[in-house]
Amino acid sequence: MTIQWFPGHMAKARRQVTEKLKLIDIVYELVDARIPVSSRNPMIDEIVANKPRIILLNKADMADSRITKQWLDYFNLKGETTEAIAIDSQTGKGLQQISSLSKELLKEKFDKMQSRGIRPRAIRALIVGIPNVGKSTLINRLAKKNIAQTGDRPGVTKAQQWVKVGKELELLDTPGILWPKFEDQMVGYRLATTGAIKDTIINLQDIAVFALRFLTEHYPDRLRDRYALEEIPEDIVDLFDAIGTKRGCMMSGGHVDYDKTAELVIREIRQEKLGKLSFESPVQL
């Protein structure tokens, strides 16, 4: 899905999420475990305000587990009504914690309701996140069937529907979609490297330069092993030349084709050919 985020669209998205917040007890904020800060909406704290929230580090299967652990510590230190869990929505790993943690965070509210004689009901939740972070995959997985297909048809207003997750939890079937942070160029590169934004938005060679510099600094062994490099050249053009030559990304005349090399590197990162990678860590903040 591609969404062009103009100020009008952002305002509308914010309004829609704010409306949905009135219906629910708790927010599940979905982020990409490989870039948990870059894949957040910049105004999320303000938009969600006082609702309890669980930060779900999704696609944890693709992230560096050592760094994911650091992120969990980082987010879990922050406050009593915000917790974080690492999950993999494709296989369902980690999802069983969501319901129990929600109950914990809402215990006081529900106890109070009960003491006032209000009949017990299921916890109501909303999933929010930027495009491509895995919202539909998660809803489908939790609902155990295919209900979250984006079936929006122009002119047809669909009523809000609840999806049952066991007996004690209900989810709104349409997630809250919010925009990512665009202002910071590094954020753009991280989103592009992980495939969260379309490749046409940022030049592919620029994305590959970012990714290769990051790998050189944080995962030099993976880079050396994957492309059979004895040494990693310091100069980025030399690094492109080395990889392009090794992998046969050539133009006629025997020159390295930088577009092809960039495309190869980015594709292989996304296909986990260089292993599980995280592109930001709490230490950098």
Please, which residue, 142 or 243, has the CB nearer to ligand GDP?
142
Q: For the chain, first and last CA: distance in Å?
A: 30
**Is 61 an interacting residue with respect to ligand GDP (CB under 6 A)?**
yes
Shortest distance, CB of residue 44 to ligand GDP, whole angstroms? 15
Contacts of 45 (CB under 8 A, 6+ apart): none
Residue with tokens 């049952």: 164
d(CA 31, CA 57): 5
Report yes or no: 57 and 68 within 8 Å, Cβ to Cβ: yes
Residue with tokens 């938005």: 201
* Residue 158 tokens, joined: 């669909």
* Residue 99 tokens, joined: 């319901």
Near ligand GDP by CB under 6 A, which window of 69-77, 127-135, 226-234, 235-243? 127-135
Identified binder of ligand GDP from the candidate list 58, 68, 193, 261, rule CB under 6 A: 58
Per-position DSSP letters for 155-190, written without gaps between them: T-PPPP-EEEETTTEEEESSPEE-----SSHHHHHH
Residues 252-271 that bind ligand GDP (CB under 6 A): none
Shortest distance, CB of residue 229 to ligand GDP, whole angstroms? 27
d(CA 77, CA 79): 6
Q: Which string of x and - marks every residue 83-102 that binds ligand GDP (by CB under 6 A)?
A: -----xxx------------
Shortest distance, CB of residue 138 to ligand GDP, whole angstroms? 7
Please, which residue, 55 or 133, has the CB nearer to ligand GDP?
133
Shortest distance, CB of residue 90 to ligand GDP, whole angstroms? 4
Shortest distance, CB of residue 32 to ligand GDP, whole angstroms? 9
* Residue 142 tokens, joined: 């939790």
Please, which residue, 115 or 146, has the CB nearer to ligand GDP?
146
Going by the DSSP 8-state scheme, the letter that residue 32 receives in this structure is E
Residue 153 CA: distances (Å) to CA of 28, 50, 149, 156, 173: 26, 33, 12, 6, 16
Near ligand GDP by CB under 6 A, which window of 13-21, 131-139, 201-209, 215-223? 131-139
Please, which residue, 41 or 261, has the CB nearer to ligand GDP?
41
Identified binder of ligand GDP from the candidate list 59, 181, 226, 276, rule CB under 6 A: 59
Please, which residue, 121 or 267, has the CB nearer to ligand GDP?
267
**Is 129 an interacting residue with respect to ligand GDP (CB under 6 A)?**
yes
Q: Amino acid letter at 139?
A: I
Q: Which string of x and - marks every residue 132-161 that binds ligand GDP (by CB under 6 A)?
A: xxxxxx------------------------
Residue 52 CA: distances (Å) to CA of 26, 58, 92: 5, 19, 23
Interface residues with ligand GDP (CB under 6 A) are: 1, 58-59, 61-62, 88-90, 129, 131-137
